[in-house]
Amino acid sequence: MSGLEITGLSKSFGGVCALDDVSVAFPHGKINALIGPNGSGKTTFFNCVTGMIRADSGRITYRGQDLTGRPPHRIARAGIGRSFQLCRVFPRMTVLDNLLCAVQPRTLRAKAGRSHSRAETERARHWLTRMGIDHLERAEAQNLSWGQQKLLELAGVLMSEPETILLDEPAGGVNPALIDRICALVSELNAEGRTFLVVEHNMDLVMSLSHHIVVFDRGWPIAEGPPSAIRSDEKVLGAYLGV
């Protein structure tokens, strides 16, 4: 089934070409990974797809819908959610309030003059329980470990019920026990029908978790396929070893 499809995506920063006419598709319903050496364009790709930055050229479609040039909230509304490499939580807000904010920004709520519904609070608690951090709902987010903050951020993404989730280095800086928890969650959520696109440096994780891998080098996809094919691909080995 067609999912996220990118055609001819290019982006330069001054004289630096970060994405060079990239055409790539990520199958819907799968756990996809995007890997590549530092500076190969992965973050720029994520930022273009989620509308954080505007590509110079190219087309982005999702489930047949043209998302090219759409702002982030329109892309989110189309069903694509995203986490960040450097986790985005409100550090001095409680864990529960972080999730309630993810549903509707406080300022908008204040203007609308309404408080959170019981259903929103129930849903926030549901996701905290799924993440295994429900016992921390009254803690300030800044008092959580880095891995717990990543789980909180993922719970925040899930509050808007995206069918596709882009994860930027979910295991970066996270202790091994919580990495296992994050992997198990991604697998469970995928089995429930959510599609993933994961940028991650931990190759063991990428190889064990993903169904489909795309490899970038210097702003360009040099290989794609299942982990078994990527592991032994000479271009991929060359990109990582610099040969």
Q: Which of 2, 8, 16, 115 binds ligand ADP (CB under 6 A)?
A: 16
| Total residues interacting with ligand ADP, rule: CB under 6 A | 11
Among residue numbers 111 through 150, which ones bind ligand ADP (CB under 6 A)? none
In the complex, least distance from residue 172 CB atom to ligand ADP, rounded to whole angstroms: 12
In the complex, least distance from residue 15 CB atom to ligand ADP, rounded to whole angstroms: 9
Binding mask 20-59 for ligand ADP (x = CB under 6 A): ----------------x-xxxxxxx---------------
Of residues 12 and 145, the one with the C-beta less far from ligand ADP: 12
Judged by CB under 6 A, does residue 83 bind ligand ADP? Answer: no
Among residue numbers 167 through 206, which ones bind ligand ADP (CB under 6 A)? none
In whole angstroms, give the CA distance from residue 76 to residue 142: 26
- The answer to whether residues 215 and 239 touch, using CB atoms and an 8 Å cutoff, is yes
- The answer to whether residues 46 and 85 touch, using CB atoms and an 8 Å cutoff, is no
Of residues 63 and 218, the one with the C-beta less far from ligand ADP: 218
In the complex, least distance from residue 22 CB atom to ligand ADP, rounded to whole angstroms: 11
Closest CA to 2 of 26, 33, 21: 26
| Cα 71 off chain centre by | 17
| Spatial strand order in the sheet of 80-82 | 80-82, 164-168, 195-199, 31-35, 212-216, 221-225
* Contacts of residue 154, Cβ cutoff 8 Å, sequence gap at least 6: 83, 131, 165, 167, 170, 182, 185
Of residues 42 and 82, the one with the C-beta less far from ligand ADP: 42
In the complex, least distance from residue 95 CB atom to ligand ADP, rounded to whole angstroms: 29
Supply 152's token pair.
């909180």
- The answer to whether residues 81 and 164 touch, using CB atoms and an 8 Å cutoff, is yes
User: Which residues make up the interface to ligand ADP (CB under 6 A)?
Assistant: 13, 16, 18, 36, 38-44
